[in-house]
Amino acid sequence: MTLRTRLQMIFGTTVLVSFASVLVFAALGIRKEMRSSLETIATETAGRYAAGIDARTGEALLTARTAARIFSNFERFATTDRRNTIDAQVRSLLERNGKFTSIRVFFEPDALDGLDARYAGTELGNDAGRFDIVWHNEGGLVERGRSTEAALVESELYATVKKLSVEVVLDPRDYAYGTGSPLPRVSATAPIHDIYDTFIGAVSIDLTLTDFQGIIDEVRPFGTGFAGLYTKNGYILAHRERALFSKNFTDEAARYLPEGAAVLADAIAVAEQVSAKLVNAATNPSSDRRRTRVSRVCGKKRWR
């Protein structure tokens, strides 16, 4: 079928549990004999750049997972030392990892040391005394953040990680630390469990979307192609057109021919189906191997 503009959209791979990487190749007057070659190049490019995005969020999630396992063994510290010890470790972790914009650790009420009442309203406890600390890095300046009990329990972060009790990467939200400007951020979060596998807290690490945008900006196939990064709900995380940040893919799809808009919707839908499988496998020690197999299959998906 001849179109004034042919769109080739290749779904590369899921990024943990929330993102879909979709490459859009736009070229005028593509000849029929060039289509196979274009699809092959698109598939290879999608997989390569999606792997880079996966590595960024994967690093944050691995760090959160490791910290959660360490903090779950808090009983090796003296009761009165636990808050100061974890607080110092979180600050040190952020100072050593310049790619992270913040690290947050919280425990369920009295789950850490039973001393919430003593620490209410202090640096090591929120207004209710719960251990809920956050260190953020804005422009190289590492500072302590503050939050309230109400803000925590009403947040998507708390509701999601407590309900699912598995590792998760949340959809982006605009947030400002200290006196900085609000920036769209994503959170890689790992739950903290006790010896009975009961949820008792979480470690959450934030990344700004500028980390993803740098990768997406590198994708310029044939000089006319571009790439987009979307959440499973269709919101745009990174795109060559900055005005589309945080908008839904339908705001972008309206500019395409109907065939192209349908392909974009299908690519994101496939990502959501695969993401659901990865969530189910999150607690399986062999999940990394399973993720690799899923990624290879999705990387070969083509628009027909």
pLDDT value of residue 46: 67
Is 2 a residue whose pLDDT tops 50? Answer: no
Over residues 213-236, mean pLDDT = 73
Is 245 a residue whose pLDDT tops 50? Answer: yes
**What share of the chain in percent tops pLDDT 90?**
37
pLDDT value of residue 33: 58
Distance of CA 262 to the CA centre of its chain: 25
| pLDDT per position as a tens digit, 84-110 | 999 999 999 999 998 899 999 999 999
Per-residue three-class SS string for the chain = CCCCEEEEEEEEEEECCCEEEEEEEEEECCCHHHHHHHHHHHHHHHHHHHHHHHHHHHHHHHHHHHHHHHHCCHHHCCHHHHHHHHHHHHHHHHHHCCCCCEEEEEECCCCCCCCHHHHCCCCCCCCCCCCEEEEEEECCEEEEECCCHHHHHCCHHHHHHHHHCCCEECCCEEECCCCCCCEEEEEEEEEEECCCCCEEEEEEEEEECHHHHHHHHCCCHHHCCEEEEEECCCEEEEECCHHHCCCEHHHHHCCCCHHHHHHHHHHHHHHHHHHHHHHHCCCCCCHHHHHHHHHHHHHCCCCC
Over residues 15-25, mean pLDDT = 50
Confidence band of 295 (pLDDT split at 50, 70, 90):
very low
Specify the CATH architecture of the domain 68-210. Answer: 2-Layer Sandwich (3.30)
pLDDT value of residue 35: 61
pLDDT value of residue 19: 56
Task: Look up residue 184 and give its two tokens.
Answer: 């769209």
Mean residue pLDDT of the chain comes to 74
Over residues 289-295, mean pLDDT = 31
Of 38-47, 213-222, 240-249, the least confident? 38-47
Is 8 a residue whose pLDDT tops 50? Answer: no
Over residues 11-20, mean pLDDT = 40
pLDDT value of residue 135: 96
Is 115 a residue whose pLDDT tops 70? Answer: yes
- What are 29-36's contacts with CB under 8 Å, separation 24+? 30/6, 35/6
**Structural domain boundaries in the chain:** 1-49+218-238+278-304, 68-210
pLDDT value of residue 82: 97
Of 32-46, 157-171, 200-214, 274-288, the least confident? 274-288
Confidence band of 122 (pLDDT split at 50, 70, 90):
very high
